[in-house]
């Protein structure tokens, strides 16, 4: 600070303050403002005070230089150490890449052998399954021909049954012929159903064979494509011109299989194909047995039906006589019922006349004037009479309806009996001429027909 008196001034050297301890980093220049006073000051002194406070001290300068030297030395050592590590890493990476690529090439070669093995097994299974499918298709053709051969016997039986169904219901007795014909029709239907089911089963088996063959072919095709891909992959090297960077190919697909599941998939396909082939062989043996048994059953049933026809023709004449006797009794009952209906109608007309009289009396008495409109004894008697007559009339009408219904039933029965008697001779003609004559068209052995 300055101190003086009057107009003269004398500069006094102030005591140097001790520098503070600060980190070894550049300090920002700080300008110290000098407090102005009323006294006159020296301009030179003020400038020198500002310059002194903005400068570093000498120890600070040495410390800062030492820090710069140490930093440069440390960075150089780190750079040298990094270069040595990079050189070693390059050597290790090159060796590791060569080993990994050779190992990958070896595993690809082993993989190609595995693919070739399963491809050969699948190809063998495809050929065997295709041959078995062709044999089963030939057996299916036999079934279809046998099914076609049953159409004529079934048409004969149905025609016999339809011809016998032309008789009116009283003549439709379930005789031995009917039972044998129904048994024969049922037998043929069962045979046809069995043949159809077997055809469906054969069709399903053929479809299963082809589906399994398709599965094996798809597996075989995938393995052929995979073989070509892996064979191309094994030929790649760092000098190849068709290699590119594919960073996203490193990740595993969620649906990717494992070596175990991959081998199991082909094994399952071959196992399924073997099962389908075995089922196909068994089905072909079953088809032979079905055709033979069906042919023998049809031959035996045909003889039984012919014997039943001969026995039934002798029973038709006696049945016709019984029906004529029933018709005579029905005609007598119809005459009696018609007379009964006439009596009931006459009784209803008589009672209706009495009812009209009583109702007219009540109607006229309803016009009596004033107090004369009295509920006297005649009034009660007339009301009672109307109620009694109404009850009798309703009973007579119900009885008339019952009698008319009985007459209707008798007339219907008469018509049925007359119709039955009229067609009885035709029934004999149907059994003897139509049915027995048409059965001569019965075909030969079913088993032979299946080869035509």
Domain ranges of the chain: 104-237+260-308, 319-451
Per residue in 232-257, pLDDT (tens digit) is: 888 878 777 777 777 776 676 777 78
Per residue in 400-444, pLDDT (tens digit) is: 898 889 889 988 888 888 877 777 778 888 888 888 888 887 766
Please report which confidence band the pLDDT of residue 57 belongs to, taking 50, 70 and 90 as the band edges. confident
Give the whole-angstrom CA distance, residue 157 versus residue 169. Answer: 20
Give the whole-angstrom CA distance, residue 47 versus residue 41. Answer: 11
Per residue in 188-218, pLDDT (tens digit) is: 999 999 999 999 999 999 999 999 999 999 9
pLDDT at 380 over 90: no
pLDDT at 65 over 60: yes
- Count CB neighbours of 437 within 10 A: 9
pLDDT number for residue 425: 76
pLDDT number for residue 170: 65
Mean pLDDT, to the nearest integer, of 271-298? 92
Give the whole-angstrom CA distance, residue 169 versus residue 124. Answer: 67
Among left, alpha and beta (phi > 0; psi -120 to 50; other), residue 32 is beta
Short-list 120, 187, 119, CA closest to 153: 187
Question: Are the C-beta atoms of residues 180 and 303 closer than 8 Å to each other?
Answer: no
Give the whole-angstrom CA distance, residue 389 versus residue 358. Answer: 9
Point out which residues pair with 10 in neighbouring strands.
3
Sign for the pseudo-dihedral over CA of 70, 75, 78, 83: negative
CATH 1.10.3470 fits 104-237+260-308, yes or no: no
pLDDT number for residue 420: 75
Give the whole-angstrom CA distance, residue 155 versus residue 188. Answer: 10
- Least confident range from 9-23, 141-155, 371-385: namely 9-23
Give the whole-angstrom CA distance, residue 107 versus residue 109. Answer: 5
Mean pLDDT, to the nearest integer, of 3-16? 38
Point out which residues pair with 3 in neighbouring strands.
10
Mean pLDDT, to the nearest integer, of 28-43? 44
User: What percent of the chain has pLDDT above 90?
Assistant: 23
Question: What's the first-to-final CA gap in the chain, in angstroms?
Answer: 142
Give the whole-angstrom CA distance, residue 425 versus residue 313. Answer: 11
């Amino acid at each position: 600070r300055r101190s003086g008196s009057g107009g003269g001034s004398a500069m006094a050297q102030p005591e140097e303050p001790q520098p503070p301890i600060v980190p070894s980093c550049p300090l920002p220049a700080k300008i110290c403002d000098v407090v102005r006073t009323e006294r006159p000051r020296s301009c030179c002194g003020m400038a020198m005070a500002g310059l002194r406070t903005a400068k570093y001290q000498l120890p600070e300068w040495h410390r800062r230089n030492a820090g710069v030297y140490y930093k440069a030395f440390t960075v150089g050592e780190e750079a040298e150490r990094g270069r040595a590590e990079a050189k070693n890493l390059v050597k290790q990476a090159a060796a590791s890449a060569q080993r990994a690529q050779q190992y990958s090439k070896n595993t690809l070669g082993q993989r190609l052998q595995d693919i070739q093995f399963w491809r050969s097994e699948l190809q063998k299974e495809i050929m065997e399954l295709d041959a078995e499918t062709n044999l089963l298709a030939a057996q299916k053709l036999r079934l279809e021909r046998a099914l076609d051969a049953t159409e004529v016997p079934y048409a004969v039986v149905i025609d016999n049954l339809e011809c016998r169904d032309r008789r009116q219901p009283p003549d439709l007795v379930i005789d031995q012929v009917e039972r044998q014909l129904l048994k024969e029709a049922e037998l043929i239907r069962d045979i046809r159903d069995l043949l159809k089911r077997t055809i469906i089963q054969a069709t399903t088996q053929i479809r299963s064979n082809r589906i399994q063959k398709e599965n094996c072919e798809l597996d075989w095709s995938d393995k052929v494509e995979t073989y070509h891909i892996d064979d191309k992959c094994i030929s790649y090297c760092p000098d190849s011109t068709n290699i590119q960077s594919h960073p996203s190919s490193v990740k595993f697909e969620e649906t990717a299989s494992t070596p175990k599941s991959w081998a199991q998939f082909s094994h399952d396909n071959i196992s399924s194909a073997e099962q389908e082939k075995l089922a196909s062989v068994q089905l072909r043996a079953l088809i032979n047995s079905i055709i033979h048994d069906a042919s023998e059953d049809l031959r035996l049933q045909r003889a039984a039906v012919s014997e039943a026809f001969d026995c039934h023709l002798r029973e038709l004449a006696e049945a016709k006589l019984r029906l004529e006797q029933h018709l005579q009794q029905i005609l007598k009952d119809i005459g009696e019922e018609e007379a009964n209906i006439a009596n009931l109608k006459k009784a209803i007309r008589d009672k209706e006349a009495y009812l009209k009289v009583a109702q007219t009396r009540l109607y006229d008495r309803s016009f009596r004037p004033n107090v004369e409109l009295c509920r006297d004894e005649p009034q009660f008697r007339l009301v009672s009479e109307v109620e009694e007559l109404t009850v009798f009339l309703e009973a007579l009408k119900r009885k008339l309806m019952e009698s008319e219904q009985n007459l209707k039933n008798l007339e219907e029965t008469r018509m049925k009996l007359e119709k039955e008697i009229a067609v009885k001779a035709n029934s004999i003609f149907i059994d003897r001429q139509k049915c027995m004559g048409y059965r001569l068209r019965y075909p030969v052995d079913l088993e032979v027909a299946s080869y035509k």
